[in-house]
Structures are given as structure tokens and as C-alpha cells.
Chain A
Amino acid sequence: METKAEKREKQLLVSIGPHIGSEESIPRIMWAVSISLLPAFIISVYYFGLRAIAVVGVSVLSCVIFETITQKMLKKKVTISDGSAFLTGLLLGLNLPSSIPLYQPVIGSLVGIVITKHLFGGLGYNIFNPALIGRTFMLITWPRPMTTWYKPVAGITTMDAITTATPLGILKEDGIGKLIETFGDKMNLYINLFLGNRAGSLGETSVIVLLIGAAFLFYRGYITWHIPFSFVGTVMALTWIFGGKGGLFAGDPILHLLSGGLILGAFFMATDYVTAPAIRKAQIVFGIGVGALTVLIRLKGGYPEGVMFGILLMNCFSPLLDRAFKAIPFGTIKRK
């Protein structure tokens, strides 16, 4: 125990902060997040074939190239080695269907990197998640290619592919009965969703590998439980309450948890340092907001999936949330 005098002594020492150095840096974090997405990428190649490599490759490459060009044009230091553009490209690619024409990710990257990121001031200043804005732009511009999903082929060389709807698409159009019928029984449905054997965006399908990546991020301390857990918890609670056809508390929260882009969105995109609040309490409110918007769109909206719009809409509120939950320094007198 320190005595009072010792404490005062410490307080009286004057030196210029910051006092605690950290080994962490932007490149380290960005590359670690990229590595944590590697399992999802590998499994997407397993399920959707070599096309997955092409789509993700084009996204990553065009993001890095656009970052270089923009920073050259704005006469800024070129910072492609910090991995942020690489990560944006990776996230964008993993959020696309395998069948997309390959010029489209290029335009998506252009919108994400140039407009969303650099025209707002570059890394750290962007209001919205660049990868998600790129994807939204693509979804609205090319609605058909962006919602043409293929059944996983489970074999790298298999070329013939069958189009099908995503589980959430089937749920929206034909109801839960049809969805269970497609997969056999309910248990089978859960297992297939958990393993990722279903139609969907490249990186979103396999819950288990995404959780492995997320566990790595938790282990390194790059993400905390606040955003992902409040987000996922809200989605599960609200779909349980309102998701069913026959009255309240009849929904299927596990189905909603395992389908769509919920896990990818909650652990890898809603937690983006730049576009999410930094204060813990604000992060919880942020997560609840994203979850509520996601459920609202999933159950009542025109689109089957709402994670992307939910995150983007709450991105707008991040600065306000941070301000609302700003810690009051000890001893501050409340103004009336």
C-alpha cells in the first residue's frame, strides 16, 4: 500500500505524456485482423471454388491500388503497408457472392477507398465503414448480380453450380417450413449453417471458422465483448420475441444467429476502431442499436439481411454516442 504522501509525490512528478508505451500499432492490428479472416477465406475457397480467390483477389488488389493512387494524388504519404486498404479489400471481397462479374468489386473498392475513406480525410476520419459502403453501393447499383447466390460446391475443381436463395432469403419468401424442408430437419439445418454449407456471401457462411478468427482477436485483445455481444444478444432476443409467426416469443434465435452475415458483421465490421464508438458504454448502446436495426430489416424490411445497413446507420451515431457517454472527470461540478 502506498501512503498518502507517496501518492502525492507521484502526482507531483511532471513529465510529458504518454507515459506507457505499447507495442501495438495500426499495421500490427490491421494485419492481425486480416490474419484472423484467413480461415474464413480458406473455407470460402473450399465451398465456392477458385472463383472465391478471384473475387477476393480483385477486391484486395483494387483497394490497395486505389489507396496508392489517391494518396499520391492528395500528396499524402502512401500507407498501403499499414494493411488498412488490404483489410478493406478483404472484407469487401468476403462480403460478395461468388458469381459476381469481376469488374464490379473494382467499382466497389473505388467507392469504398476513394469516396468513403479518403475524401473524408483518410484512415481515422471516415464516418462509415469503407468496405460496407462499397458493398452497399454495389448492392444498389447491381441488384441482380449482388443477390445471385450459388450452392456451395465443396470441391475446388467442380465447375457446375446451382443458384439458390440464402437461408434468410428462403425464410423471408417461403417461411421457416420451407427452410427446414430444404435442409432435411432442424438439427441438420443448424449444423449446416454452423459449418457454412449454405448459399451466401463468400466469407459469411461458416460460423465456426469466423468464431476461430474472432477468438484470436479476443486473445490478442483487439476487440472487446461490448459491441459483438450486445449486437448478437439483441438480435437473438428480438428475433426470439418477434420472429415467430404465432404471437410473441415464438421466433428462432439460433437460426437468426447462424444465418446471414451476423457473425462476420458483429465481430469483424461493427468493431472497426474508426467507425465504432470508443467508450465502453457507448459501444454497448451501439451494439444494441445495430442489433435492433438488423432485426427490423430482417423481419419487416424489403431486404432479407440487415446487418450491413444496421452497421452503417449506427456508424452515423458513433460520434454522438461517444459524446453522450463521455466520462465525467472526478470532482467536476454538474452544470445546471
Chain B
Amino acid sequence: MNEKINYWKIFKNGIFSENPVFRLALSLCPAVAVTSGVKNGFLMGVAVLFVQTMSNITVSIIRNFIHPKVRIPSYIFIIAAWVTVTDLMMAAYARDVYKEMGLYIQLIVAFAIILSRLESFASKKNVLPSGVDGLGMGFGFLIALVLIGFVRELLGKGALWGYQFTPTKPLLIMILPTGGFFVMGLLMGFFNWINRRFFGGKASADVHMEAHRHGSH
């Protein structure tokens, strides 16, 4: 690698042009399931950020020792290891949160975005860019979850981070799964519009197709 690597660009990539939820349209299931509030979305985002970054670094370090035929199972093992770390840490130090979020934390193992980045980025690049990519993707996911959670909690419960400031629930549908799809779709459209209007970019469907073509899942 002769050319200088632009780490800022790699980091920014995960937040804007390849945002996992709004642009790559990956891991939409947790993006709907845990975003009934800002707090849950934030904590989930942090957990994914940690797992993504650490798995990226791990895979990048040992990428030359993994046989291509068993790479997917190997990646899953690595992700599972870091998820277990997150799981036990949360169980030990944040019991209240863990009671609410425990099930979803364990499900991070199956998140498409993590496996996708290992396959399409970390398995081909050096340790440092891989780590930065993990950070970028993790932050992108975090931001997406917080945004969806913000809209849903505000409209659905009339609250933010658990603080109630309306006597009734203004739009009950928003905290139901249906509302999650509504908000996610509208925000995705909004991001597409911004991207097209100000950056001359592509719609998320195109990005998704390209990600597929590059061999990611």
C-alpha cells in the first residue's frame, strides 16, 4: 500500500455515504425492534460500536490465517466472542439496563452489518483502517438508532430519554413496530434526498446493490 490512507474518509464513510441503516439498509430488524426510545437506541448503538470495532480489528489481525472456505463460521466465532464480552460486561456493571436489553445484546451476533463489514472490509485491509472502519460503521449505526429512537419516542410517548413531557401519548402508532417502519422509511428517504440534493450521490438501493456486488452479505 503505497498511497496514503485517508482515515477520516473511511470514518466518514460509515456515517454518511454508507450509513448501515439509512444507506446500506442492513440490520433493519434491530433498528426497528430496539428504537422505541432514545435510551435503548443509544445503548444498542454503543454495544454494536464496540463489537463492530473489536471484531474488525480481530479479523484484520488474523485475516491471513483464516481459510477462505471456513471464513464465515470463523467470523461468527469472533463476533460471538466480542458479543459475549459485551454481554458479561453489561450484566456485571449495568444490571438495570441489562434486564431490558439483554436479549437484544446477544442477538448482535446475527447482525448483518457486522458480518458484512468483516467480509467486505476487515478481511482485506490492515488493522488500523479496519479499526477506523469499525468505528465509523458503529457510529453510523449509533446515530441512526438514536435518530429513529428520538422521533419515535417524541411522537409516540411524548417523552425523551424517559422524561415525560406530555400527559398523553400523542401518536401511539409510533412506538409500535409499524411506527418504526414509518420513521425508518421516512428518515431513509430524507437521507437519500440530502445525498442527492447536496452531494449528487446515489439512492440507498444502488449502494445496497453495489455492496452486494462486492461480495458482502
Q: Which residues of B contact A141 (CB under 8 A)?
A: 171-173
Total contacts A-B at CB 8 Å: 14
Interface residues of B in 186-213 (CB under 8 A from A): 186, 189
Contact A115 B182 (CB under 8 A): yes
Contacts of A143 in B (CB 8 A): 172
Within 8 A of A (CB), among B137-183: 171-173, 176, 178, 182
Q: Say how far B64's CB is from chain A's closest CB, in angstroms.
A: 48
Range for the number of chain A residues in contact with chain B: under 10
| Residue A26 is within 8 A (CB to CB) of chain B in the complex | no
Contact residues on B (Cβ < 8 Å of other chain), bracket: under 10
Q: In the complex the two chains form, what is the Cα distance from A321 to B98 in whole Å?
A: 47
Q: Mark A110-143, 1 if CB is under 8 A from B, else 0.
A: 0000010001000000000000000001001111
Task: Tell me if A's interface is mostly helix, strand, loop or mixed.
Answer: helix
Complex alpha-carbon distance, A119 and B176, angstroms? 21
Q: Which chain B residues lie closer than 8 Å to A115 at the CB level?
A: 182, 186
A140 and B189: CB pair below 8 A? no
Which A82-129 residues sit within 8 Å CB-CB of chain B? 107, 115, 119
Q: How far is the CA of A119 from the CA of B181 in the complex (A)?
A: 14
B173 with A137: CB separation less than 8 A: yes
Q: C-beta contact mask, B67-90 vs A, less than 8 Å → 1, else 0? A: 000000000000000000000000
What residues of chain B lie closer than 8 Å to A137, measured between beta carbons? 173
Q: Is there an interface contact between A140 and B178, defined as CB atoms closer than 8 Å?
A: yes
Considering the chains assembled together, what is the distance between the CA atoms of A50 and B12 in angstroms? 58
CA–CA, A115 to B186, complex, Å?
A: 9
Which among A119, A140, A143 has the greatest number of chain B C-beta atoms within 10 A?
Answer: A140
Query: Which residue of chain B is the closest to A142 with respect to CB atoms?
Result: B172
A193 to B101, CA, bound (A): 51
Query: CB within 8 Å of A: which residues of B?
Result: 171-173, 176, 178, 182, 186, 189
Binding site for B on A (CB under 8 A): 107, 115, 119, 137, 140-143
Q: Which 9 A-B pairs have the closest CB atoms?
A: A141-B173, A140-B173, A141-B172, A141-B171, A137-B173, A140-B178, A140-B176, A140-B172, A119-B189
Sample (7) of A-B pairs whose CB atoms are under 8 Å apart: A107-B171, A137-B173, A140-B172, A140-B173, A140-B176, A141-B171, A141-B172
